[in-house]
Amino acid sequence: MNAGGLHPMERHSARGVAAGRAQSPHTSMFVRMLVRAAVLRRGRAVSALFAMVVAAAVATAMLNLYIDVQAKLRREFRNYGANIILAGRDGASLPADALSHVESVVAGRGLVAPFGLLVARTSDGQPIVVAGTDFERVRQIDRWWSVSQWPSAPQQALVGVRAVSVVSPRNQPFDLSFQGHTIHLTSAGTVQTGAAEDSRVYLSLPDFVLWTGVQPSTIEVAATGSPEEIAAIMHQLQEAIPVAEVRPVRQIMEGEARVLGKTRATLLAAAALIILTAALCVLSTLMGWVFDRRRDFAIMKALGASDRLLNSFFAAEAAALGATGAVIGFVLGIGIAAWIGRVNFHAPVVPRFGVLPLVLAGSILVTLLSAILPISLLRRVQPAVILRGE
């Protein structure tokens, strides 16, 4: 970063401060002093700017992460599967058009999978729970299912690992019967979940309905969004299908809320600490720089500059530095946040431009503070004393 790059920004900001003194012949002198100050003492100006850029970048990255972590973690939590369950009252079937209604309500805000459950008998008369579902949807919503091979053709079944020995111990085709109707199935693969699914046989929904004439009784919904958005979806679902009972999966919702809350709180504490440290870094660098230029200050004062002019000169300089640092730091910070998102969440963190005014205001505030503090100290000192180097 050289002083040439600062040029337009400084001039722009200086104009802003000097606006009240528009048309005044002092304007060009004011701008020239600002620019020359940065050019002549390039080393220290660059190190002050560097501190500012780093602080703004870190602040931007932390704020971006803080805002985005919720969305990122919610996505992780959707891998826990459904957070809303629609079921027919007392185990009754849902209307045939229920699934399409649910789809239109959810519409891109989550995943949906229908399930029909009943007890059938194997050829030797053993009872077994048979479920009809849409395998494509289940693959999306219940990602933890460990499946050896998903069924791909009609009359293929997915057999739970514990049910294998009952229905098809040698992987042979098998028959299941329900109220006098029999279906002939082949086993495509096994499913293991460690829960109730292990003792069931899963069929595709068309096979299930054709065989039993029973419509699905449960629809699982994995809705994305904040608790309020999910409550709204539940409300809309209840209105769309009044005969169904809509209930949240509380263990998932509560666990998610807790973990999200704690993670955000930790991140906020970390962000506060980091931003505080970065701000102090800027403060000490900048105060040193301004203190270092007490000779310039003394000469200006000796030549008759008013206190107001001196204040506005140093304030303009600080504001220009703060604004430049904030903008460069913002771009850098967005990059850092995106990188962290890619490395950790395998999805970039979306840039939040709403953070920019915050970072800009914070940066200018810190730079103004670090300019005003030494100036107010120096103002009390006679220029002659400073110039003599005491």
Partner 1 sequence: MFARLVYESFRRQKRRKLLAGAAITLGVTVATAMIAVATDIGDKINRELRTIGANILVTPQEDTLDVEIGGVNLKPPSDGAFLNEADLPKIKGTFWHNNITGFAPMLPVTVTLQRDGKSENLTLLGTYFAKSVSFGKEEFKTGVRITHPWWKVSGSWPDDGSRDVLLGERLAAKLSAKPGDEVALSGRTLRVSGILSTGSVEDDQVVAPIALAQEILGKPGAVRRVYVSALTKPEDALARRDPKSMSGPIYDRWYCSPYPQSIAFQLQEAIPHSHAEQIRQVAQNEGAVLTRIEGLIFLVTLAALFASALAVSAAMATAIFERRAEVGLMKALGAGRFAVASIFFAEAMLLALVGGFVGFAAGGLLARQIGRSIFNSEIAISPVLFPVILAIAVIVTFAGSAAAIRNAVRLDPVFALRGEL
Compute the least distance from the CB of residue 51 to partner 1, in Å: 6
Compute the least distance from the CB of residue 214 to partner 1, in Å: 12
* Cβ closest to partner 1, residue 192 vs residue 311: 192
- Is 199 one of the binding residues for partner 1 (CB under 8 A)? yes
Alpha helices in the chain (DSSP H): 3-17, 26-40, 42-77, 98-106, 135-141, 164-167, 205-212, 227-240, 250-292, 294-302, 307-340, 355-379, 383-387
d(CA 313, CA 31): 9
- Is 151 one of the binding residues for partner 1 (CB under 8 A)? no
Measured over the CA atoms of residue 378, residue 382, residue 386 and residue 390, the dihedral's sign is: negative
Compute the least distance from the CB of residue 284 to partner 1, in Å: 5
Per CB under 8 A, the segment of 205-213, 242-250, 302-310, 351-359 that binds partner 1 is: 242-250
* Cβ closest to partner 1, residue 15 vs residue 348: 348
d(CA 303, CA 130): 95
Exactly one of 32, 181, 235, 247 binds partner 1 (CB under 8 A); that residue is 247
- Is 291 one of the binding residues for partner 1 (CB under 8 A)? yes
Compute the least distance from the CB of residue 259 to partner 1, in Å: 5
- Is 119 one of the binding residues for partner 1 (CB under 8 A)? yes
- Is 380 one of the binding residues for partner 1 (CB under 8 A)? no
- Is 274 one of the binding residues for partner 1 (CB under 8 A)? yes
CB-based contact 116:202 (threshold 8 Å): no
Interaction residues for partner 1, span 75-94 (CB under 8 A): 76-77, 79-81, 87, 91
Distance set, CA 200 to CA 173, 180, 181, 220, 221 (Å): 16, 20, 19, 17, 21
- Is 227 one of the binding residues for partner 1 (CB under 8 A)? no
CB-based contact 216:96 (threshold 8 Å): no
- Is 251 one of the binding residues for partner 1 (CB under 8 A)? yes
- Is 38 one of the binding residues for partner 1 (CB under 8 A)? no
- Is 243 one of the binding residues for partner 1 (CB under 8 A)? no
Q: How many residues bind partner 1 (CB under 8 A)?
A: 76
- Is 281 one of the binding residues for partner 1 (CB under 8 A)? yes
- Is 100 one of the binding residues for partner 1 (CB under 8 A)? no
CB-based contact 189:148 (threshold 8 Å): yes
Per CB under 8 A, the segment of 170-178, 207-215, 277-285, 318-326 that binds partner 1 is: 277-285
Long-range contacts of 140-143 (CB under 8 A, 24+ apart): 140/111, 140/113, 141/81, 141/82, 141/111, 141/112, 141/113, 141/220, 141/222, 142/81, 142/113, 142/193, 143/79, 143/81
Nearest residue to 123 (alpha-carbon basis) of 173, 197, 190, 191: 173
Q: How many beta carbons lie within 10 A of that of residue 372, not counting itself?
A: 16
- Is 266 one of the binding residues for partner 1 (CB under 8 A)? yes
- Is 124 one of the binding residues for partner 1 (CB under 8 A)? no
d(CA 184, CA 358): 66
* Cβ closest to partner 1, residue 252 vs residue 309: 252
CB-based contact 366:279 (threshold 8 Å): yes
- Is 101 one of the binding residues for partner 1 (CB under 8 A)? no
Angle 307-340/26-40 helices, nearest 10 degrees?
50
Exactly one of 1, 37, 67, 118 binds partner 1 (CB under 8 A); that residue is 118
- Is 112 one of the binding residues for partner 1 (CB under 8 A)? no
* Cβ closest to partner 1, residue 243 vs residue 276: 276
CB-based contact 218:117 (threshold 8 Å): yes
- Is 72 one of the binding residues for partner 1 (CB under 8 A)? yes
